[in-house]
Structure 1
Amino acid sequence: MVEMSTTLSGRRLANPLMTASGCAANGQELHRFFDVAGLGAFVTKSVMADPRSGRDTPRMAETPSGMLNSIGLQGPGIAAFVEHDLPWLASVGATVLPSIAGGSSTEFAHVAAALRASPAFGCVAGVEVNISCPNVANRGLVFACDPLASAKVVALVREQLPRDVPIFAKLSPDVTDITTIAAACVKAGADGLTMINTLLGMAIDTDRLRPQLGGVTGGLSGPGIRPVAVRAIWQVRQAMFEGRIPTVPIIGVGGVRTGNDALELVAAGASAVQVGTATFNDPSAPMRVLAELTELLETKGFASFADVVGIAHVR
């Protein structure tokens, strides 16, 4: 059997498969289809400080190779999350990677502090910092598109969490040079990176000749973005090999539907893989992908998952 455990910044996970933020709510919905404790980690929907109603409808639109979403980070806020959702995840034995978001760097810090204060914080294996949010203090500029803004968020979140709880900055592909953003985040205290978030896209209803989404633009996800994820992971991992960025683990995400898709991200340099959009039509997709990936590695003669991480760089 292949040893499928992975270690992310000192935290050992039983396997490398995770949900992707925003695609599986906060656990209870997906738990009806499989035991979420069987995942390497369950990644929650991004949570902000206050309750948020989200963007105008329609919020979703199909594309030929994925989907556009314009949800707007709808959610009940951090107080409800730590009172209800996190304790439930802890009660079923899940390993949790909460995703946090904010409209300002100080909001990120507030959410991180509230998370740490939760009695259920023991189930948290790390925190994903969703910096792909508009910065309300800077005319809506997305944090993840600016090295300094990204670094400030990461530094403030790092101050609020115990040193043994790793934080993973989730990067946007909508930048000229993703290695610059990655380097800024790691220098500011990120223990790892999640790559990539959705690409900004738009669809026009050609019957009504108007935008399909109420919010006009939305995040493109699904199979169509996987080559972008592979490229981004490759570039950042290569920068690490060359010493331009300190070596930290990468969590790969973007268009994974099968074990073979996951293997592509891992070979490019990902130490863990998230499954997102695929769960909309196959709720068991994360566990299926894990089984397929395990079988692939066994067929190829690998003894452990760790042996394959970044292997494409040395072949």
Structure 2
Amino acid sequence: MKVRFAGIELRNPVIAASGTFAYGIEFEDIVSLDRIGGFVTKGLSREPMAGNQAPRIIETAAGMINAIGLQNIGVQAFLTSKLPALARYPTCAVIANVFGYTVDDYLAVIDALNEARGIAAYELNASCPNTKHGGISFGSDWKLLGELVVAAKQAAKRPLIVKLSPNVTSIAAMARCAEDAGADAVSLVNTFVSLSIDVHTRRPRIANVTGGLSGPAIKPIAVRMVWEAAKAVHIPVIGMGGITSPEDAVEFLLAGATAVQVGTASYADPRAVERIAHGLEHWCVRHHVEKVSSLTGAMEIAST
């Protein structure tokens, strides 16, 4: 069940996604952290952030919309109050999600994390608005994305994963941009910009008006985007978007992912990550798959 990417070895390819697994340690009484591949922390910023006003999360027909606003305790508090306890789980890869509103913000967080022990890699949240460029998302402009990744790679002392936004014309082009700028891997997809309106009040159901759609509703689109990205780059791809079962994880692997992240499923079932990791192993046994890594990119397309 072991997989390797960007110099990191995971006990299995199932990772808990950022924003859905807190800082990892909060789940230790629910999930056996030594039985999952790893987890990605909530996005860490230079200073603590309170996030958006409520309501900021609603259920949809096949998932949810959220506009949490990247609420987090800040990188320094994570290093002092969360990371030390995670040393009890040396086989669980801790991936620190990093974000900011300027390149300097990102670099400040990376610099703080560089000196800490027990972190396997950084995941760069490229979906944040760049306040120096009129709020344009880093992940939706290839030039801004390239500049961010180049700077982050130069600063980072650990492997750099770039989390791509799906709200672009070509996910393949953005994946290539990240690779060309020095990314060690890419993860995709982040949430889709969406809007839900209460027809009785005629007001948005989310205080922020729009939010990010996640859950099973986005899975077929996410699988397609992972397939397109995997064909476009030579670096590993980590897939996510609506995974709720072992079979969902297999789909992403067949499309070209080396590992997968489980997010929204943890809201309905806090043990979803462990359940899917365990189920994936059983699926491989039942289907005589000796190495889970052999599934990566193994989708078969009939010739015409």
TM-score range, shorter chain: over 0.9
Q: Does 1:237 align with 2:230?
A: yes
Ranges in structure 2 where 5+ consecutive residues have no aligned partner: none
Q: Does 1:202 align with 2:201?
A: no
Query: Aligned with 1:68: secondary structure?
Result: strand
Q: Which residue of 2 aligns with 1:183?
A: 176
Give the residue type in structure 1 aligned to 2:131.
V
Q: Which residue of 1 aligns with 2:72?
A: 75
- Distance, in Å, in 2 between the alignment partners of 1:129 and 1:313 is 32
Q: What is the Cα deviation at residue 301 of structure 1?
A: 1.3
- Distance, in Å, in 2 between the alignment partners of 1:97 and 1:149 is 23
Query: Aligned with 2:299: secondary structure?
Result: helix
Ranges in structure 1 where 5+ consecutive residues have no aligned partner: 240-244
Q: Does 1:264 align with 2:251?
A: yes
Q: Does 1:173 align with 2:166?
A: yes
Q: Which residue of 2 aligns with 1:109?
A: 107
The RMSD of aligned alpha carbons is 1.2
Give the residue type in structure 1 aligned to 2:209.
V
Of the structure 1 ranges 269-278 and 91-100, higher mean CA displacement relative to structure 2 is found in 91-100
- Distance, in Å, in 1 between the alignment partners of 2:294 and 2:246 is 16
Q: Which residue of 2 aligns with 1:242?
A: none
- Distance, in Å, in 1 between the alignment partners of 2:253 and 2:17 is 16
Q: Does 1:131 align with 2:118?
A: no
Q: Which residue of 2 aligns with 1:90?
A: 87
Residues 44-92 of structure 1: CA distance to partner in whole angstroms, max 9, x if unpaired?
1011111111111100111101000000001111111111112222234
- Distance, in Å, in 2 between the alignment partners of 1:13 and 1:106 is 31
Residues 229-255 of structure 1: CA distance to partner in whole angstroms, max 9, x if unpaired?
10101111122xxxxx3x111111100
Give the residue type in structure 1 aligned to 2:27.
L
Whether the 8 Å contact between 2:101 and 2:129 is mirrored in structure 1 is yes
The correspondence for 1:15, drawn from 12, 16, 28, is 12
- Distance, in Å, in 1 between the alignment partners of 2:257 and 2:189 is 11
Q: Which residue of 2 aligns with 1:158?
A: 153
Residues 199-251 of structure 1: CA distance to partner in whole angstroms, max 9, x if unpaired?
00010011211000010000100000111110101111122xxxxx3x11111
- Distance, in Å, in 1 between the alignment partners of 2:291 and 2:198 is 48
Whether the 8 Å contact between 2:32 and 2:274 is mirrored in structure 1 is no
Q: What is the Cα deviation at residue 278 of structure 1?
A: 0.5
Q: What is the Cα deviation at residue 38 of structure 1?
A: 2.2
Q: Which residue of 2 aligns with 1:303?
A: 290
- Distance, in Å, in 2 between the alignment partners of 1:230 and 1:92 is 31
Query: Aligned with 1:99: secondary structure?
Result: strand
- Distance, in Å, in 2 between the alignment partners of 1:170 and 1:184 is 12
The correspondence for 2:210, drawn from 171, 193, 217, is 217
Q: Which residue of 2 aligns with 1:56?
A: 53
Q: What is the Cα deviation at residue 313 of structure 1?
A: 5.2
Q: Does 1:290 align with 2:277?
A: yes
Q: Which residue of 2 aligns with 1:34?
A: 31
For the structure 1 residues 313 and 183, does the alpha-carbon distance in structure 2 shift closer, same or farther, using more than 3 Å as the test? farther
Q: What is the Cα deviation at residue 296 of structure 1?
A: 1.4
Alignment length (residue pairs): 301
**TM-score normalised by the chain length of structure 1:** 0.93
Q: Which residue of 2 aligns with 1:251?
A: 238
Q: What is the Cα deviation at residue 106 of structure 1?
A: 1.3
Give the residue type in structure 1 aligned to 2:12.
N
Whether the 8 Å contact between 1:65 and 1:223 is mirrored in structure 2 is yes
Whether the 8 Å contact between 1:109 and 1:153 is mirrored in structure 2 is no
Alignment of 1:274-289 (within 5 A): 274-289=261-276
Query: Aligned with 1:47: secondary structure?
Result: coil
**TM-score normalised by the chain length of structure 2:** 0.96
Query: Aligned with 1:252: secondary structure?
Result: strand
Of the structure 1 ranges 149-158 and 86-95, higher mean CA displacement relative to structure 2 is found in 86-95
Whether the 8 Å contact between 1:100 and 1:111 is mirrored in structure 2 is yes
Q: What is the Cα deviation at residue 308 of structure 1?
A: 0.6
